[in-house]
């Protein structure tokens, strides 16, 4: 009897724990999901383009990047939309199979690798810019918009962590550290006391995040190449 | 249109079917994510990521369980991994001094029941807490929990029993409230 009373009491009182709001933000979330899906389709179009398959024979890791600008644009579009590339080279769907089959596996692999490299570098460039702005601008309004950007970048970081882009150990560690820092910024209240912001700053400094990002970006890339 | 038909059409890229599946399940996914995260922004992130992953992986859905169960499995994985990352981050940020002061905090210093209960739930081992949230707060059956978390329903029952026992022990000084 006592047990039953306790369970009833517990259910009644614990229901306030992380109680979800009555209104679920359905439309807002759907818009984000639809944008991500749209960007995914764009990336598939870029992947299928004749330019992409013609370029696949180009050798050299970074020398091929400039020649693959359509794919770089697609990758940047993805990042701009706040989603990552983890979705688009993870095994061909039935729909894309004929196109993929027309490429040799080596060429396919080269495109994939170079594309993830481009996407990673573009992403790191965006994170570097955001973190630099975050550290330099203390205004609440700016911080709020930077937080929104940090949220998108966090999503992309997580997807890149779950993609071939994270196969390189040092890049994987960098992405993991970025996830920590970005998550901290996302949960930071725009009106938080200076000490809370200082904690984020310390995390950025301690992990040498900006230095490591800059050393991961090939010269010239962040300046629009 | 049945859910099975919706799934088939969604796999073919039918956005209306994807939207219908979303409408059918988003409330439950969001509620679960919110129970885990306790924060609207994080719950949104986890919900969105769960649906994006689900639609992406839909061709691999084997129909061994319902679409809902399969989706909730993804949602719980996304939410628990996400919140784990954030907790890891926060742990890294707590200084040794702060950690020591937390350890010395008088357990009876805060007489507020809700706060004590909240803290007690958060102190539960992750497995116990997840089962407790899903069963006692969100009304999932042990069979559903078992499918979503990939455990036996008996394990779910055992974890719930232990979670309640732990809470009862920690909240013993409130015994008058439930035995009255």
Q: Which of A2, A5, A6, A89 to mutate to test the interface with B (most CBs of B within 10 A)?
A: A6
Q: How far apart are CA B84 and CA B86, in angstroms?
A: 5
**Which residues of chain B are within 8 Å of residue A87 when distances are taken between CB atoms?**
52, 56
**Interface predicted TM-score (ipTM):** 0.84
Query: By the CB < 8 Å criterion, does A223 face chain B?
Result: no
pLDDT in tens, A59-98: 333 333 333 334 444 454 455 444 444 443 444 443 444 4
Q: What mean pLDDT do residues A184-203 have?
A: 77
Give the pLDDT score at B117: 92
How many CB pairs lie under 8 A apart between chains A and B? 120
* pLDDT tens figures, B40-81: 999 999 999 999 999 999 999 988 889 999 999 999 999 999
If one compares B119 and A78, the residue with the highest pLDDT of the two is B119
Residue A217: name the closest of A70, A55, A62 by CA.
A62
Report the distance separating Cα A155 and Cα A74, nearest Å.
Answer: 17
Question: Do A83 and A156 form a contact (C-beta atoms < 8 A)?
Answer: yes
Domains of chain B in sequence order: 1-104 (1.10.1740.10), 105-171 (1.10.10.10)
Q: A13, B39: Cβ pair inside 8 Å?
A: no
CA distance A84 to A87: 7
- B13/A40 Cβ within 8 A: no
Question: How many contiguous H segments (helices) and E segments (strands) does chain A have?
Answer: 10, 0
* Residue-level pLDDT at B92: 61
Interface of A with B in 6-65 (CB under 8 A): 6-11, 13-21, 24-26, 28-30, 32-34, 36-37, 40
Is the pLDDT reported for residue A192 higher than 90? Answer: no
CB contact under 8 Å between B137 and A17, yes or no, is yes
Tell me the per-residue pLDDT of A124-158, one tens digit each, with 9 for 90 and over: 888 888 888 887 776 766 777 788 888 888 888 88
**Cα–Cα distance, B122 to B112 (Å, whole number):** 16
Q: Coil, strand or helix: which one is B109?
A: coil
Confidence of residue A107 (pLDDT cuts 50, 70, 90): low
pLDDT tier at A191 (50, 70, 90 boundaries)?
Answer: confident
Read off the tokens for B112: 């507020």
Whose CA is closest to B84, among B120, B37, B131? Answer: B37
The pLDDT > 90 percentage for chain A reads 8
Which two structure tokens, joined as six digits, stand for A18? 């992380």
Flag whether residue A169 sits within 8 Å of chain B, measured between CB atoms. no
Of residues A2, A7, A203, nearest to B179 (C-beta): A2
By mean pLDDT, which of A143-157, B4-18, B102-116 is the weakest? Answer: B102-116
Q: How far apart are CA A177 and CA A140, in angstroms?
A: 25
Q: What is the predicted pLDDT for the residue at A100?
A: 40
Residues 139-158 of A with CB under 8 A from B: 151, 154-155, 158
Mean pLDDT of A43-57: 51
The CA–CA distances, whole Å, from A17 to A140, B119, B120 equal 30, 10, 11
């Amino acid at each position: 009897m006592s047990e039953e009373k306790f369970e009833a009491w517990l259910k009644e009182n614990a229901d306030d724990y992380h109680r979800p709001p009555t209104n679920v933000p359905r439309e807002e979330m759907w818009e984000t999901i639809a944008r991500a899906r749209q960007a995914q389709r764009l990336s598939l179009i870029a992947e299928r383009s004749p330019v992409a398959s013609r370029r696949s024979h180009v050798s050299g890791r970074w020398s091929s990047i400039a020649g693959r600008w359509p794919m770089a644009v697609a990758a940047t579009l993805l990042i701009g939309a706040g989603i990552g590339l983890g979705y688009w080279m993870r095994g061909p769907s039935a729909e894309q199979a004929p196109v993929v089959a027309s490429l040799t596996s080596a060429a396919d692999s080269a495109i994939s690798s170079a594309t993830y490299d481009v996407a990673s570098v573009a992403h790191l460039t965006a994170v570097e810019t955001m973190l630099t702005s975050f550290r330099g601008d203390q205004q609440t309004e700016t911080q709020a918009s930077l937080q929104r950007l940090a949220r998108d970048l966090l999503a992309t970081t997580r997807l890149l962590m779950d993609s071939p882009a994270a196969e390189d150990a040092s890049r994987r560690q960098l992405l993991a550290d970025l996830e920590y820092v970005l998550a901290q910024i996302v949960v930071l209240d725009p009106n938080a006391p200076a000490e809370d912001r200082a904690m984020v700053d310390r995390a950025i400094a301690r992990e040498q995040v900006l230095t490591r990002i800059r050393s991961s970006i090939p010269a010239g890339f962040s300046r629009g190449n | 249109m049945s859910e099975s038909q919706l799934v088939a059409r969604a796999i073919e890229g039918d956005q209306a079917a994807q939207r219908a599946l979303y409408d059918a399940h988003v409330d439950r996914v969001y509620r679960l994510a919110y129970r885990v995260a306790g924060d609207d922004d994080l719950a949104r992130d986890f919900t969105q990521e769960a649906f994006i992953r689900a639609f992406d992986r839909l061709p691999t859905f084997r129909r061994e369980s319902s679409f809902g169960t399969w989706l909730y499995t993804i949602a719980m994985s996304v939410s628990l991994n996400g919140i784990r990352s954030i907790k890891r981050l926060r742990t890294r940020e707590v200084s040794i001094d702060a950690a020591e002061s937390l350890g010395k905090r008088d357990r009876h210093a805060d007489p507020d029941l809700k706060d004590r209960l909240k803290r007690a739930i958060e102190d539960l081992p992750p497995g116990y807490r997840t089962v407790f949230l899903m069963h006692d707060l969100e009304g999932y059956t042990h069979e559903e929990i078992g499918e979503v978390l990939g455990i036996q329903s008996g394990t779910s029952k055992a974890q719930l029993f232990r979670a309640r026992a732990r809470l009862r022990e920690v909240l013993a000084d409130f015994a008058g409230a439930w035995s009255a």
